[in-house]
Structure 1
Amino acid sequence: MRRFLPDGFTLSLIATVLLASVLPCRGAAAQAFEVLTDIAIALLFFLHGAKLSREAVVAGMTNWRLHLTVLASTFVLFPLLGLLLKPVLSPLVSPDLYLGILFLCTLPSTVQSSIAFTSIARGNVPAAIVSASASSLLGIFITPLLVGLVIAGSGQGAMSWHAIGAIVVQLFIPFVAGQVAQRWIGGWVRRHATLLTFVDRGSILLVVYTAFSAAVLQGLWHQLPLPVLAGLVAVNAVLLALALLATRYGARALGFGTEDEITIVFCGSKKSLASGVPMAKVLFAGHPLGLIVLPIMLFHQVQLMTCAVLARRYALRRTA
């Protein structure tokens, strides 16, 4: 039963939402948290830039068909599903939650869990490292562009140039600075991976706390009845199921072996909470951020539980 239970970080997210519901920050405290959150996000992308080895990426580029398949699933298949399923999805959730679902569909893949599940399932781990890292890196550029295209295509408005500029200042410049500094601090950052994990999760919890504090003060829980929340869970389950089926049978149709199929399934069906929450804060300034990030928070837990079961099934089949 442990595989169906929330992990420690998910429990931290739940605790943060509960804290924001009981003790929302406001006034000067809210402004201080906003500044602290901006600093944490910039530090997060700086450390990611310092950690990502250019040599490792170049060395793994040889399996280009696999990487293109993963990127196509992440940045083409998911956005198309979000748009094409609008007649089915939008009646189940509110307009702001549907906007959050569209944002979820534009996000890059996870890194840590994609690699971990590929390893458990006995897939192509080196390819998973390259694909997941490339997805995370390219997401800095592709996700803001996709958000603008997908939101405009869904009739939800358009993304402002201010939001694009904020992405450059808060995410891209720190990442490039980290890449430049990699020759001096890259080894130290990789040896102290717990520091990156702390900043990674800490920045997410800060964004979630400030976002849900503002949402609670605006009457979030009055706008989110239980049937709508249940509908959101159902929408996440449908999106994940379609992505898993498409990556699995798509990989087979394209002639990939079992190891590569496993990598495509676990890298191509995931969405990154670590990238999504900080990006949402930058891209959706002025929107009800709590409702925007709620879909990715729920999707995070659904994908962990589902992929844990699927990885073990792959591993058992490969050892049989």
Structure 2
Amino acid sequence: MIEKLKRYLPDGFIMGIIGMIVLARIVPGIGHEGSIIELSKVIKAGIALLFFFYGLKLSPENLKNDLSNWRLHALIQVITFLVFPLIILAFYPLLKGSSYELLWLAVFFLAALPSTVSSSVVMVNIAGGNLPSAIFNASISGVIGIILTPAWMSLFLDQQATGFEFSGVIIDLVIQILIPVTLGLIMHRWWGKWAQRNKARISLFDKSVILAIVYRSFSDSFTNDIFSSIPNLSLLVLGAVVISLFFLVFEGTKQLNKLLHFNREDSITVLFCGSKKSLVHGSVMVGVLFAGTTEGSLFLVPVMIYHAFQLFYISLVARKYSREIAPSTL
């Protein structure tokens, strides 16, 4: 009975994010510059530790063993880092120079993000997909995103983000993300089992860092009154665009699976991993790419909408597939 009830309760992480936004609106400026404990410094340290744990949980041996399924891996990463951005990029000429250009860039940021890790693996497992490949692609997607997400964004951020310097961002990415991930991979041999035993605590730490980033981003925006320039109608349109993007990629991926003649298990993995975007990586990237600017929270809005909807919809699809009896294809 309790387990059934839990299915209908709101996702705790999403509720925490909403709580941070409310707190930022009511009490902005906690841990501001000059405080005894500056939130920005805590977040930088938290991001580095987050990605160290992320690398620590990755098994180099498992990643190596799963490389043989290269068609599946290639398709997922092409959808994640090429198809998504190109879909949104096609609309740039229509919105360039308009009042909606910044909102377009926020959606483009969503499109350039890597896939989720935990939820992709969980949903693939529920649906009966190829679990090892799901783990590999969900994991490697975050590593690839360290390079490709800021690379895509660099095409436009010099023009859009006040105070943005791409060279400084690259240095921050190396210090806060790339070096910790590499150290984690190196230390996996000795501490990997410890990370697996404590993955629940590590996950709680990860989410705490994200909540701190969300609070700081929205606190800065409320302090600078940045949301006053976004009409309610624009937010509704933004939500419709984000959900439409999800269905366009989701249904398109189904057709690609058929064209490539993937079996049921591989098709599920491509469908679930390829259509998802990571709120965790989005929040971290906002903390790095837009540190010192007031636009950061705007770039989280489409990511939050997409993340919440993908969890809801794909959980329904996963349960549907789990009830099917040996179907041949999706």
Same fold (TM over 0.5): yes
* Residues 120 and 159 of structure 1: CA distance in aligned 2, closer, same or farther (over 3 Å): farther
Aligned counterpart in structure 2 of residue 17 of structure 1, from 7, 21, 32: 21
Structure 2 CA distance, aligned partners of 1:135 and 1:187? 22
Structure 1 CA distance, aligned partners of 2:281 and 2:114? 7
Structure 1 CA distance, aligned partners of 2:36 and 2:227? 19
Check if 1:7 corresponds to 2:14.
no
Aligned counterpart, 1:76: 82
Structure 2 CA distance, aligned partners of 1:233 and 1:91? 21
The Cα of 1:318 is off from its aligned counterpart by 3.8
- 1:171-215 alpha-carbon deviations (Å, 9 max, x no partner): 111111212222222211111002220221011101000000000
Aligned counterpart, 2:142: 136
The Cα of 1:90 is off from its aligned counterpart by 8.1
Check if 1:106 corresponds to 2:136.
no
Aligned counterpart in structure 1 of residue 241 of structure 2, from 235, 241, 257: 235
Structure 1 CA distance, aligned partners of 2:36 and 2:324? 51
For residue 24 of structure 2, what is the amino acid of its counterpart? A
TM-align CA RMSD: 2.5
Aligned counterpart, 1:288: 295
Structure 2 CA distance, aligned partners of 1:207 and 1:301? 18
The Cα of 1:2 is off from its aligned counterpart by 7.2
CA contact (8 A) 2:114 2:281 kept: yes
Check if 1:36 corresponds to 2:36.
no
Partner SS, residue 109 of structure 1: coil
For residue 11 of structure 1, what is the amino acid of its counterpart? M
Structure 2 CA distance, aligned partners of 1:147 and 1:30? 34
CA contact (8 A) 1:115 1:129 kept: yes
Check if 1:197 corresponds to 2:203.
yes
Structure 1 CA distance, aligned partners of 2:95 and 2:84? 14
Greater CA deviation, 59-68 or 155-164? 155-164
* Residues 95 and 165 of structure 1: CA distance in aligned 2, closer, same or farther (over 3 Å): same
Structure 1 CA distance, aligned partners of 2:66 and 2:301? 34
- 1:204-237 alpha-carbon deviations (Å, 9 max, x no partner): 1010000000000111342233212211111110
For residue 248 of structure 2, what is the amino acid of its counterpart? L
Structure 1 CA distance, aligned partners of 2:152 and 2:226? 27
Equivalenced residues, count: 318
Aligned counterpart, 2:174: 168
CA contact (8 A) 1:106 1:146 kept: yes
Structure 2 CA distance, aligned partners of 1:4 and 1:223? 35
Structure 2 CA distance, aligned partners of 1:317 and 1:187? 35
CA contact (8 A) 2:221 2:294 kept: no
- 1:137-179 alpha-carbon deviations (Å, 9 max, x no partner): 2211222222224x37x97578621111111111111111212
Aligned counterpart, 1:48: 54
Partner SS, residue 108 of structure 1: coil
Aligned counterpart, 1:306: 313
Check if 1:62 corresponds to 2:65.
no
For residue 301 of structure 1, what is the amino acid of its counterpart? A
CA contact (8 A) 2:55 2:180 kept: yes
The Cα of 1:3 is off from its aligned counterpart by 5.8
Structure 2 CA distance, aligned partners of 1:302 and 1:86? 24
The Cα of 1:95 is off from its aligned counterpart by 3.1
Structure 1 CA distance, aligned partners of 2:111 and 2:232? 23
Check if 1:297 corresponds to 2:301.
no
The Cα of 1:27 is off from its aligned counterpart by 4.7
Structure 2 CA distance, aligned partners of 1:194 and 1:313? 27
* Residues 23 and 134 of structure 1: CA distance in aligned 2, closer, same or farther (over 3 Å): same
Percent identical among aligned pairs is 36
Stretches of structure 2 lacking an aligned partner (at least 5 in a row)? none
* Residues 30 and 205 of structure 1: CA distance in aligned 2, closer, same or farther (over 3 Å): farther
Give me the TM-score of the superposition, normalised by structure 1.
0.92
Structure 1 CA distance, aligned partners of 2:233 and 2:256? 34
Partner SS, residue 123 of structure 1: coil
Check if 1:317 corresponds to 2:321.
no
Structure 2 CA distance, aligned partners of 1:30 and 1:242? 48
CA contact (8 A) 2:106 2:299 kept: yes
Q: Runs in 1 of length 4+ with deviation above 6 angstroms?
A: 87-93
Check if 1:85 corresponds to 2:69.
no
Stretches of structure 1 lacking an aligned partner (at least 5 in a row)? none
